[in-house]
Amino acid sequence: MDRFETLAAFVAVADRRGFAAAARALDISPPAVTRAVAALERHLGVTLFHRSTRAVSLTDEGTAFIERARRILADLREAEQIVMGGRSVPRGQLYVTAPVMFGRLHVLPVIDTLLASHARLSARMMLLDRNVRIVEEGIDVAVRIGALSDSTLRVVNIGSVRQTIVASPAYLAEHGTPLDPADLVHHRCIVGSGVRVGGTWPFGAKGTRIVEVAPRLTVNTIEATLDAAVAGLGVANMLSYQASASLASGSLVQVLEDHAPAPMPVSLLYDPGRAAMPAVRVFIEAMRERAKEDRWN
């Protein structure tokens, strides 16, 4: 194997936590993966993995090396796409990250359409309700919700989402409708993880009016927060795209709409070096087109 193949084997073992799983992913034999990693370790003069009969994990040296290896492989993939595919035909793998629910509702349909239109394109999606390091992880495009910190990454704004305080009609009939944010201290509140985290809820045009709610229920996913609100367990703070279907069906009702803070931007972030990749360009354009339908606000 050449140097790039050994790097690919190293990253595959790290990602899948095993040599056999890495071999299946790379479509080569397990001994070939073992030899590749051993050759890389000899070349570097370090041990990259702790090996046991039950698990494989990175050593300190492996942890320090993994991000650089991902970046090298990503740069190679980008160069291959440009040289082999010209500057017009999307091909190779597009690596995208997005918040879990937004990715499922609004990114996956775009990816599905692109894959149907471009036979030589494949995609990898990392759906997480936290930000990941784009360059270090070799990600082509990241979908971010909320204010962005200054960086050298390019930013494309594709719309906005709003804070939406919701409850079920049954809950409001029993407990009354909050008319002012201060009323929330007398209500059962549902707190979940994701883009809206914790019991500190902002209100007002600038989001400077802060209400500390005492959670009656705390859950760790947006889906569970939504289900709990629909079931009438309390009042939930969600983003507009998360609650839109339930609001449309009438299973949830929006409250305190006049007190909502300013909308939060939805942005696409990518390294300037990815700008020439056909896959990146078609994905960004497709997300812009979807945003024109204003589906998530």
- Structure-token pair, residue 230: 């629909």
The lowest-confidence range among 102-106, 123-127, 134-138 is 134-138
Amino acid at 256: L
Average pLDDT over every residue of 229-236: 96
Mean pLDDT for the chain overall: 88
In this prediction, residue 204 carries a pLDDT of 92
**Backbone Cα Rg of the chain:** 23
Contacts of 14 (CB under 8 A, 6+ apart): 49, 58, 62, 66
What pLDDT is attached to residue 255?
97
pLDDT per residue over 197-231, tens digit each? 567 899 998 888 999 998 899 998 889 999 999 99
> Burial level of 225, CB count in 10 A (0-12/13-18/19+)?
buried
What pLDDT sits at residue 2? Answer: 77
Domain 163-259: give its CATH code: 3.40.190.10
Give the pLDDT confidence score for residue 195 in this predicted structure.
46
pLDDT, mean of residues 29-48: 92
| Global confidence as pTM | 0.69
pLDDT tens, position by position, 3-27: 788 998 999 899 888 898 888 878 8
Q: pLDDT tens digits for 60-108?
A: 999 999 988 888 887 777 676 556 555 567 888 899 999 999 999 999 9
Tokens matching residue 190: 């549902």
How many C-beta atoms lie closer than 10 Å to residue 149's C-beta?
6
pLDDT of 32 > 70? The answer is yes
HSE toward the beta carbon, residue 181, CA cutoff 13 A: 21
Q: Is the pLDDT of residue 241 over 90?
A: yes
pLDDT at 193 over 90: no
Pick the CATH number of 1-85 from 3.30.230.10, 1.10.10.10, 3.40.718.10, 1.10.3720.10: 1.10.10.10
Tell me, yes or no, if the two domains 1-85 and 86-156+268-297 fold the same way.
Answer: no
In this prediction, residue 88 carries a pLDDT of 66
- Range in 27-41, 87-101, 125-139, 185-199 with the lowest mean pLDDT: 185-199
Mean of the pLDDT values across residues 228-250? 95
Report the CATH number of the 86-156+268-297 domain. Answer: 3.40.190.10
Which positions ≥6 away from 70 have C-beta within 8 Å? 11, 136, 137, 138
Average pLDDT over residues 259-278: 89
Q: What pLDDT score was predicted for residue 81? A: 59
Q: Give the residue extent of every domain in the chain.
A: 1-85, 86-156+268-297, 163-259
125: β partners: 96
The answer to whether the CB of 230 falls within 8 A of the CB of 145 is: no
Instruction: Say what the pLDDT of residue 4 is.
Output: 81
Residue 203: per-residue pLDDT: 95
Q: What is the pLDDT of residue 236?
A: 96
